[in-house]
Structure 1
Amino acid sequence: MSETRTTTGNDEVTVLLTGAGAPGAWGIIRSLRATERPVHIVGVDMDPDAYGFALVDDGYRVPAGTDEAYVPRIAELAAEADIDVVLPLTTDELQPLAERRGEIPARVMVSDADALSVANDKAALYEFLEERGFDSAPEFVHVDDEASFVEAADALGYPERPICFKPTVGSGMRGFRILDDDADQLTRLLEEKPEEAVTTLEEVRPVLAQADPFPELVVMEYLPGAEYSVDALALGDSVGPVVPRTRAQTRAGITFQGVVEENEQLIEEAGDICRELELEYNVNLQFKYDADGTPKLIEINPRVAGTIVMCVGAGANMPYLGLKHALGEDLPPVDVRWGTWMSRYWDEVFRAPSGETYRIGGEQTPSPKPTQ
């Protein structure tokens, strides 16, 4: 790896932003723009039609994060574009980038590979929390065949009480289901959207029985309380700002309404977990309260979260603080405006036949032409 340059707080910095088509890319791009210094953003994505290409300064198409050619392509672009920092937005890219960061001539905002292997695997994460005595460890069973799945459901109290399950590795709401025999079936049929997560063991068991191989799953207690997303700037053996926010309204796992809340219990628990795991850079921790009022950790996203712009609107520009940490610069004090409320809405990007991209009411700008 070639040496990376030393910067000060006012120098222009060039960032390679992966996952330009990720749902949260627009908010993170705006966060990087809303700083005291010029930030040149090079966006990459495997989709040539990723909407983020219309929002960045330069754009390139790259292989999928799981492709063997992915890291070499990122390294090539980092050298060609004189990249200072690589900021990944999607989960699949994290482990390859962590394991091969030495090949990339730029600072890469990912935790060490060993820490990621725990944070990204829910079974390993829950076991870690349990072994270290964290109160936020949920009650769970790790299963890898149909028989153990049914046994786990019984052990956790189903059908007398609802439970849930999800893949050990995944992001968003993918694969998450709640098993609840007491749910109003007519309401589910007529009033809820088809992607509703509530189902029954009888409905899912025939599907799982046909799986070959059977997926690794965690079967866990159902948590009926309020859900929070906590953004933290992890610094390895210490932690910077920690900002909890409510998830009052979500769609496909993405927060559409919420409030930035000074919840000291979550601030302390999230900080302790980040330190114990020795995570680094931006980390997102998802908590949900159980029936007794205890917050349980349901997952960690060891990367910039899609709705981290909510923190930015409350005075804590977490993506930029992560960038400054990557550059080795001193972090400024943060004054969070607790109680800030956010509501998200949709926006559209259009592409004219000429290739120019624009938004209604916005200026027309040339679209970067992503190349392989």
Structure 2
Amino acid sequence: MTLLETVRPSNRDGDVTVMVTGVGTPGASCIIRSLRQTDAFDARIVGVDDDPNAHGFSLVDAADSVPPSDSDRFIHEVKAVARREGVDVIFPLLTEEIQSLSVAKQSFEDDGIRVMVSNPRALSLTTDNGRLYDELVKQGHPVTPEFYVASTRDEFVEAVRALGYPESRVCFKRPVGSEMRGLRVLDPEFDRFSALMERKPGNTTTLEDVLPVLEETTEFPDLLVMEYLPGEEYSVDALAREDGDPILVSRSFTDTHDGRSSTSMVEKEPALIKSARELCEIFDLEYNLNFQFKYGSDWTPKLIEVNPHVSRSVAACVGAGANMPALGVQYALGRDLPDVDIEWGVHMTRCWQEVLYTPGKEPTSFSRCC
């Protein structure tokens, strides 16, 4: 069976019950298929999401809606579903949920439920890019981009100027965020008319357009201002382990939409793999995660961000022989991991899949009803 084939829910008892949280997120179907594809275990999959119409519900063996991750009831409801369904491992897909699950990790493990998240300190450092870069500066690590953290209008303008604007492009975003949400590129040559009339909405703007918007806020937001990196973007998917070297797969992004990879090539980049290994150790990371790098004009790689969960485009790794989601579950269960033989050069193209909702019936993936 290939990854591109539609995998139907098994509707049978498996030897491992995995709860996948955030099954409405893009990429959830890939993770679910990856867990079903392995020969290492027979997975019974329980899906939860705060959207009762989450598309991933059509692909799992049992499903339930839970409160949003910022609700006081989130952990209680997730635990209730996990107990009811006999869950062995919780596999979270959303950054917003991971911190809460990490804090409550011990209480789950007291019930015999493994939670695939790093410790709270590691997460607080790596999900806040300001703290992330500060720590890398302390470590003297070369993947640190040039950056400033600004908390006022004057600090923001000063940081933008210090990074070369208007002679050079500059980036900024909120320090805490995921998948480059809110990232804006300040480009002094930005053609506003062409952008308005001829292009799809994008993330490029000018300082002159941004300042009035920021000045309207009652409290100026903390902003991370960093150098613009014009080179190619790469990702390193990792399974970080307490008891051994991380499993690492590097790949390039040949096309992205809304900060998500739509095409990707598995390419061996020793420098990036080495940096990812060092970052796993520096931040005491564990389980599945993803590092995003971008090259500067001098072909020096810089770290953009750390995603403390499995990448939503991890299908490229699975196709190349490294089933990172399944390996993560095996690690969580304390099982020995097999040697991974990566087939470098595998290319992935992502496409969408529809889900149909019929009143009174279970949701059905489009390919399963045609």
- TM-score normalised by the shorter chain: which range applies? over 0.9
Q: Which residue in 1 is equivalent to 2:82?
A: 78
Structure 2 counterpart of 1:136, from 120, 143, 154: 143
**Aligned-pair distance for 1:361?**
4.0
> Retained in 1: the 8 A contact 2:353–2:366?
no
Counterparts of 1:283 and 1:261 in 2: how far apart (Å)? Answer: 18
**Which of 94, 98, 112 is 2:98 aligned to?**
94
Q: Alpha carbons of 1:152 and 1:292: their partners in 2 closer, same or farther (altered >3 Å)? A: same
Of 231-240 and 76-85, the range deviating more from structure 2: 231-240
Match of 1:333 among 336, 339, 348: 339
Q: What residue number does 2:219 align with?
A: 213
1:80-133 Cα offsets, whole Å, 9 max, x none, are: 111100000000111111111122231000000000000100000011111111
TM-score by length of 1: 0.92
What CA RMSD, in Å, does the superposition of the two structures yield over aligned residues?
1.4
Matching of residues 287-302 of structure 1 within 5 Å: 287-302=293-308
CA distance in structure 2 between the aligned counterparts of 1:120 and 1:347, rounded to whole angstroms = 30
**Partner residue, 2:164:** 157
Give the whole-Å Cα distance in 1 for the aligned partners of 2:66 and 2:154. Answer: 41
Which segment is superposed worse, 70-79 or 276-285? 70-79
Question: Counterpart of 1:303 in 2: which secondary structure?
Answer: coil
The answer on 1:303 being equivalent to 2:309 is yes
Structure 2 equivalent of residue 111 of structure 1: 118
Q: Answer yes or no: is 1:175 the counterpart of 2:178.
A: no
Question: Structure 1 residues 277-286 or 347-356, which shifts more?
Answer: 347-356
Residues 139 and 221 of structure 1 are in contact (CA less than 8 Å); yes or no, is this contact kept in structure 2?
Answer: yes
Measured after TM superposition, the shift of residue 237 of structure 1 is 6.8
Q: Aligned partners of 2:259, 2:70: CA distance in 1, in Å?
A: 22
Task: Mark the runs of 5 or more structure 1 residues left unpaired by the alignment.
Answer: 1-10, 365-372
2:62 maps to a residue whose letter is: D
Aligned-pair CA distance for 1:238: 4.5
* CA 74–357 in structure 1, closer or farther in 2 if over 3 Å, else same: closer
For the 8 Å contact 1:98–1:113, the answer to whether it is kept is yes
Distance 2:199 2:301 in 1: 27
Change (3 A) 1:114 1:237: farther
1:347 is displaced (CA, Å) by 1.0
Q: What is the deviation of 1:147?
A: 1.5
Is the aligned partner of 1:246 residue 2:249? Answer: no
**Contact 1:144–1:217 (CA<8 Å) still a contact in 2?**
yes
Contact 2:21 2:47 in 1 (8 A): yes
SS of residue matched to 2:366: coil
Q: Answer whether contact 2:58 2:365 (CA < 8 A) is retained.
A: no
Unaligned 5+ segments in structure 2 are 1-13
Are 2:67 and 1:58 aligned? no
Q: For residue 63 of structure 1, what is the amino acid of its counterpart?
A: P
**Cα deviation, residue 215, structure 1:** 1.7
1:16 to 19, 22, 42: 19
Give the length in aligned residue pairs: 353
Equivalent position SS for 1:248: strand
Aligned partner of residue 251 in structure 2, secondary structure: strand
Correspondence list, 1:195-214, <5 A: 196-214=202-220
- Indicate conservation of the 8 Å contact 2:315/2:348, yes or no: no
Once residues 246 and 117 of structure 1 are traced to their aligned partners in structure 2, the CA distance between those partners, rounded to angstroms, is 27
**Structure 1 residue 166 corresponds to structure 2 residue 166:** no
Cα distance between partner residues in 2 of 1:103 and 1:216: 34
Identify if the C-alpha distance between structure 1 residues 122 and 238 changes in structure 2 by more than 3 Å, giving closer, same or farther. Answer: farther
Paired residues of 2:21 and 2:49 also in contact (CA < 8 A)? yes
- Whether 2:25 is the aligned partner of 1:25: answer no
Instruction: Give the conservation status (yes or no) of the 8 Å contact 1:244–1:263.
Output: yes
Report SS of the residue matched to 2:33: helix
Partner of 2:9: none
Partner of 2:118: helix, strand, or coil?
coil
TM, length-normalised to structure 2: 0.93
Distance 1:236 1:269 in 2: 18
User: 1:193, CA displacement in angstroms?
Assistant: 0.7
Instruction: Report the equivalent of 2:355.
Output: 349
1:317 to 312, 323, 345: 323
Query: What is the distance in 2 between the residues matched to 1:356 and 1:83?
Result: 22
Aligned to 1:4: none
Match 1:47 to one of 42, 48, 51: 51
Q: In the alignment, is the contact (CA less than 8 A) between 1:228 and 1:244 conserved in 2?
A: yes
Distance 2:366 2:120 in 1: 43
| 1:237–1:278 contact (8 Å) kept in structure 2 | no
Matched residue, 2:37? 34
Over 4 Å off, 4+ runs: none
Q: Which region of structure 1 is more displaced relative to structure 2, 16-25 or 99-108?
A: 99-108
